[in-house]
A and B are shown apart, each in its own frame.
Chain A
Amino acid sequence: MEYFIQQLVNGLTLGSIYGMIAIGYTMVYGIIGMINFAHGDIFMLGGFAALIVFLVLTSFLAGVPVVLALLLMMIVGMLAAALWNWTIERVAYRPLRGSFRLAPLITAIGMSIVLSNFIQVTQGPRNKPIPPLVSSVYNVFGIAISLKQIVIVVITAILLSVFWYIVNRTPLGRAQRATEQDRKMAALLGVDVDRTISVTFIMGAALAAVAGTMYLMYYGVVVFTDGFVPGVKAFTAAVLGGIGSLPGAVLGGLLIGLIESLWSAYFTIDYKDVATFSILAIVLIFKPSGILGRPEVEKV
């Protein structure tokens, strides 16, 4: 039982990271209907930005409190990732808006290749390990919960509330939802569609960067190929939860995290990704709109 709960805690932590990345996928898909393949690499980029900030802090400003360091890593990572995603949207996606649907998908895949190889070229192909940032572990009723895990879950919860508030309660969120429903109509009613889409990319990237920072802190290592697997899993999470739905993305992320850690704990760790992808396939085959997504009605 304790072992099981231990795995639940681990799965929840991992799921929070996936959930944060998944939101970026789901928001972009919701608003312009494209799979932003480069999003996983934005996450990786955010992790690298955090890594570099961490190194700057340790080598130039030794003795910074951990909380402040973490905060700075997150904020700089968010800024860097947001700027990258904004630029990518401007140069690679916006010119293709309204054209052929596969074209932006291809540029997105292209951008994903560009980003990971850019980091490989500029930062080197090796693993980048860092010493543990926060290492305390608490023992609650026989279950080991590390401070890292608490930080990750708490930060995810806070950010999600902020996001939920922005999307549901602010004019910006209203503009986003309007653009999502009907881009032309929204434009006619005075919504600046281009700006709204840019902001969506910025928001998604910021969350991905936080996820990247958390990932770096949790595993203590980052490498230029790290965008792909978590990216695909987060996209899986977004689809599983029902693409276009914010709560769905989080729910999907948590589910993927749980499946992964429970499968590794009780079955063979080798096939954990096979399990994740198989569950995705099964869910989609029986409920193609995902868990919280609205079913797609076929218009005749």
Chain B
Amino acid sequence: MALKTTMTKDPILKVEHLSMRFGGLMAINDFSFEAERGEITALIGPNGAGKTTVFNCVTGFYKPTMGMITMKQRSGKEFLLERLPDFEITKHAKVARTFQNIRMFSGLTVLENLLVAQHNKLMQASGYTILGLLGFPAYRQATKESLELAKHWLEMASLTDRADDPAGDLPYGAQRRLEIARAMCTGPELLCLDEPAAGLNPRESLALNELLQAIRRDTGTSILLIEHDMSVVMEISDHVVVLEYGQKISDGNPEFVKHDPKVIAAYLGVEDEEVEEVIEEIEEIESEQGGINP
């Protein structure tokens, strides 16, 4: 598994030497990782590790202090995300995102939420409103198509029967799915999900996993997700990057990360001395096994 990912080497997103400073606080410190095309990459770490900050840098809501974020589309076109304003990252670079604390258009219906997501496409079809206002057929055709796409994602998120209800009226789990469906309606190549499973009950969690798997299977969209619940991550992700205090402590397939003592230490929250002990132990084991240490 690990071998395969290193072999294909077609990263959709490359984050290099990313640093983000808030005043005196170094939230992200020289952080680099790659997300492979077509895979689900998980960014995990304890609370306050800086995962959402990485996300905000990738999606343009924060401008990083240092570093380079490269998005490479299927067509081969490359975008330097740290230089683009947030809305252009979605519009041109085709990176969509969701939020940790769900951001719905709660007064619009579920369907309208999905139509708003197709804004740029429809705007063009409506001739920047003018042709649409005059009722040109091209716009009517585009409207029909956008409704079809919305219906498709309603189906995928199993929200079809709630389509005409206000988004704010949906239960929590359904809102999470709607947010993902809405992001998918922008037609992204990379989908960034900020803690999609947070606060879900087991049944909703299962529905979410199915939705994510289906997205990857049917659309080939690559997914980057933040999670701090390890069990969710292990089930669906192909590649896991672990962040602690703004630094990368582990990077590999789920199996590798699960057994990485640094990760275990970070998650168990052991004392500093104990971490050192653990690390010493690892080093001992490693030297016994292969004698890499000098």
**A and B touch in their complex, CB below 8 angstroms:** yes
B33 on the A face (CB < 8 A): no
Residues from chain A with Cβ under 8 Å of B62 in the complex: 300
Residues from chain A with Cβ under 8 Å of B70 in the complex: none
- Rounded to whole angstroms, the CA-CA distance of A89 and B62 in the bound complex is 40
Residues from chain A with Cβ under 8 Å of B99 in the complex: 300
- A180 to chain B minimum Cβ distance, whole angstroms, is 22
Q: How large is the interface on A (under 10, 10 to 19, 20 to 34, 35 or more residues)?
A: under 10
Residues from chain B with Cβ under 8 Å of A298 in the complex: 61
- Rounded to whole angstroms, the CA-CA distance of A272 and B62 in the bound complex is 40
Q: Is the interface of B mostly helix, strand, loop or mixed?
A: loop
With both beta carbons as reference points, the residue of chain B lying nearest to A299 in the complex is identified as: B101
With both beta carbons as reference points, the residue of chain A lying nearest to B99 in the complex is identified as: A300
- Rounded to whole angstroms, the CA-CA distance of A298 and B103 in the bound complex is 14
With both beta carbons as reference points, the residue of chain B lying nearest to A297 in the complex is identified as: B22
- Rounded to whole angstroms, the CA-CA distance of A50 and B231 in the bound complex is 72
Complex interface bits, A276-300 against B, C-beta within 8 A gives 1, otherwise 0: 0000000000000000000000101
- Rounded to whole angstroms, the CA-CA distance of A300 and B61 in the bound complex is 7
- Rounded to whole angstroms, the CA-CA distance of A298 and B86 in the bound complex is 13
B213 on the A face (CB < 8 A): no
With both beta carbons as reference points, the residue of chain A lying nearest to B56 in the complex is identified as: A300
With both beta carbons as reference points, the residue of chain B lying nearest to A300 in the complex is identified as: B61
- Rounded to whole angstroms, the CA-CA distance of A144 and B52 in the bound complex is 62
- A286 to chain B minimum Cβ distance, whole angstroms, is 18
- A290 to chain B minimum Cβ distance, whole angstroms, is 20
Residues from chain B with Cβ under 8 Å of A300 in the complex: 52, 56, 61-62, 99
With both beta carbons as reference points, the residue of chain B lying nearest to A298 in the complex is identified as: B61
- Rounded to whole angstroms, the CA-CA distance of A298 and B52 in the bound complex is 14
- B32 to chain A minimum Cβ distance, whole angstroms, is 22
- Rounded to whole angstroms, the CA-CA distance of A300 and B59 in the bound complex is 11
With both beta carbons as reference points, the residue of chain A lying nearest to B22 in the complex is identified as: A297
- Rounded to whole angstroms, the CA-CA distance of A300 and B99 in the bound complex is 7
Complex interface bits, B41-70 against A, C-beta within 8 A gives 1, otherwise 0: 000000000001000100001100000000
- Rounded to whole angstroms, the CA-CA distance of A247 and B61 in the bound complex is 32
Residues from chain A with Cβ under 8 Å of B52 in the complex: 300
Interface residues of B in 113-142 (CB under 8 A from A): none
- Rounded to whole angstroms, the CA-CA distance of A298 and B60 in the bound complex is 13
- A32 to chain B minimum Cβ distance, whole angstroms, is 23
- A101 to chain B minimum Cβ distance, whole angstroms, is 14
Residues from chain A with Cβ under 8 Å of B61 in the complex: 298, 300
Residues from chain A with Cβ under 8 Å of B56 in the complex: 300
- A121 to chain B minimum Cβ distance, whole angstroms, is 41
- A91 to chain B minimum Cβ distance, whole angstroms, is 29
Interface residues of B in 58-107 (CB under 8 A from A): 61-62, 99
- Rounded to whole angstroms, the CA-CA distance of A287 and B40 in the bound complex is 42
Interface residues of B in 226-248 (CB under 8 A from A): none
- A299 to chain B minimum Cβ distance, whole angstroms, is 9
- Rounded to whole angstroms, the CA-CA distance of A298 and B62 in the bound complex is 10
- Rounded to whole angstroms, the CA-CA distance of A174 and B52 in the bound complex is 34
With both beta carbons as reference points, the residue of chain A lying nearest to B86 in the complex is identified as: A300
- A12 to chain B minimum Cβ distance, whole angstroms, is 35
| 6 contacting pairs across A/B (C-beta < 8 A) | A298-B61, A300-B52, A300-B56, A300-B61, A300-B62, A300-B99
4 A-B pairs with the lowest CB-CB distances in the bound complex, closest first: A300-B61, A300-B56, A300-B99, A300-B52
